[in-house]
């Protein structure tokens, strides 16, 4: 069985830390490089529920997309939320490794996994990485559909194929408009509107869209906007990453047991719909 340092080296080849944004906090947070690893768990969030799942599973390594500490801290006391996570990991000999923005722009990366979940054919990055001469890495993906669908049908596909959340999928735009091309970006994407408009796509699916950027984007073009839960747009990457590590394990004869957490860590737990009637403008009657 491999040592942690060997597995981490393989993960660093997939998602080099130097490709992360300068503000990001990626890499190994907890773990003894010499410990042996037999099981690995992939998840989006390094929260206590996920760590408890890793303990029950007997995992020696937890790989998450989101960092545990994105900013500096002065304590890892078990009385704090994140400190308890650290204590649980160390007490149970579980390493924690983070691949965040370096996984966002990877080839394949977070948005490739999102496109795959939606049955889209990736054409190119939405925001190419200037350091990649082949033009395959970058943020977001510009995609084509095999056959045109309406915005309503595209939203229904996203709601069906992405993990279910309380939010579901919100839509801004004409529900009957055709969608032949789409841009996707796992995680928060309203900073990408200029690139999306320049790509000339019919729809943009991402997460964490805010009122004013959406309003301005709709005023500029007939672009349809689909807003899914942040966690749901990034979870497909866990399956992609697990498959990549499985292939590496087979190639090296490591016999790793690689798992993907199905625990929903989206923080929103319910959606309340108004019982009041609305007119076509959305104003309450």
Give the position of tokens 């509107």: 193
Distance, CA of 76 to CA of 88 (rounded, Å): 11
Q: Count of CB atoms within 10 A of residue 207's CB?
A: 22
- Where in the chain are the domains? 4-102+235-260, 105-228
105-228 has the same fold as 4-102+235-260: yes
Tokens of 201: 């796509």
Residue 279 pLDDT more than 90? no
CATH ID of 4-102+235-260, from 3.40.50.300, 3.40.640.10, 3.40.1390.30, 3.30.565.10: 3.40.1390.30
pLDDT category of residue 66 using cuts at 50, 70 and 90: very high
**Could you tell me if 197 and 140 are in contact, meaning their C-beta atoms sit under 8 angstroms apart?**
no
Q: Count of CB atoms within 10 A of residue 187's CB?
A: 23
Tokens of 199: 């790509």
Q: Which long-range contacts (CB under 8 A, 24 or more apart) does 18-22 make?
A: 18/102, 19/101, 19/102, 19/105, 19/106, 19/129, 19/131, 19/137, 20/100, 20/101, 20/102, 21/101
Domain 105-228 has CATH 3.40.1390.30: yes
Residue 280 pLDDT more than 80? no
* Inter-CA distances, 147 with 119, 120, 150, 179, 240, Å: 11, 10, 10, 9, 25
Per-residue pLDDT tens over the stretch 83-133: 999 999 999 999 999 999 999 999 999 999 999 999 999 999 999 999 999
Per-residue pLDDT tens over the stretch 232-260: 999 999 999 999 999 999 999 999 999 99
Task: Please name which of 28, 39, 7 lies closest in space to residue 90, comparing C-alpha atoms.
Answer: 28
Q: Answer whether the bond into residue 108 is a cis peptide, omega within 30°.
A: yes
- pTM given for the model: 0.95
């Amino acid at each position: 069985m491999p040592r942690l340092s060997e597995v981490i080296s393989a993960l660093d080849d997939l998602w080099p830390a130097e490709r992360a944004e300068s503000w990001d906090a990626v890499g190994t947070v907890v773990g003894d490089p010499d410990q042996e690893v037999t099981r690995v768990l992939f998840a989006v969030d390094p929260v206590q529920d996920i760590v408890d799942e890793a303990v029950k599973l007997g995992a020696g390594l937890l790989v998450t997309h989101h960092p545990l500490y994105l900013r500096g801290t002065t304590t890892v006391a078990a009385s704090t939320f994140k400190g308890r996570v650290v204590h649980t990991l160390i007490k149970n000999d579980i390493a924690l490794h983070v691949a965040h923005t370096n996984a966002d722009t990877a080839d394949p990366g977070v948005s490739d996994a999102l496109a795959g979940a939606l049955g889209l054919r990736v054409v190119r990055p939405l925001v190419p990485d200037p350091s990649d001469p082949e033009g395959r890495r970058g943020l977001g993906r510009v995609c084509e559909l095999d056959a045109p669908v309406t915005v309503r049908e595209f939203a229904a596909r996203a709601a069906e194929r992405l993990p279910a959340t309380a939010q579901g999928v919100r839509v801004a735009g004409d529900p009957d408009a055709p969608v032949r091309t789409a841009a996707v970006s796992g995680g928060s994407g309203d900073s990408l509107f200029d690139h999306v408009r320049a790509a000339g796509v019919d729809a943009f699916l991402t997460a964490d869209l805010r009122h004013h950027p959406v309003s301005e984007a709709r005023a500029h073009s007939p672009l349809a906007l689909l807003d899914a839960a942040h966690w749901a747009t990034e979870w497909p990457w866990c399956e992609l990453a697990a498959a990549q590590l499985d292939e590496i394990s087979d190639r090296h004869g490591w016999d790793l047991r690689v798992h993907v957490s199905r625990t929903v860590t989206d923080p929103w737990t319910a959606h309340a719909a108004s019982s009041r009637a609305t007119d076509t403008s959305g104003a309450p009657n």
